[in-house]
Amino acid sequence: MIRTCPSCGAKNRIPANHLADKGRCGSCKSELAPVNHPIEADEALFDEVVKAARVPVLVDFWAEWCGPCRMAAPEVSALASEMAGRAVVLKVNTEAHPQLAGRYRIQGIPNFMVFRHGQVAFQQAGAAPRSQMRSWLA
5 labelled catalytic: no
69 labelled catalytic: yes
The single residue of 5, 25, 28, 69 carrying the catalytic annotation is 69
Alpha carbons 6 and 125: distance in angstroms, whole number: 36
Give helix then strand counts, H and E, for the chain: 4, 9
The single residue of 5, 25, 28, 66 carrying the catalytic annotation is 66
Alpha carbons 50 and 116: distance in angstroms, whole number: 8
Q: 3-class secondary structure for 58-111?
A: EEEEECCCCHHHHHHHHHHHHHHHHCECCEEEEEEECCCCHHHHHHCCCCCCCE
Catalytic residues: 66, 69
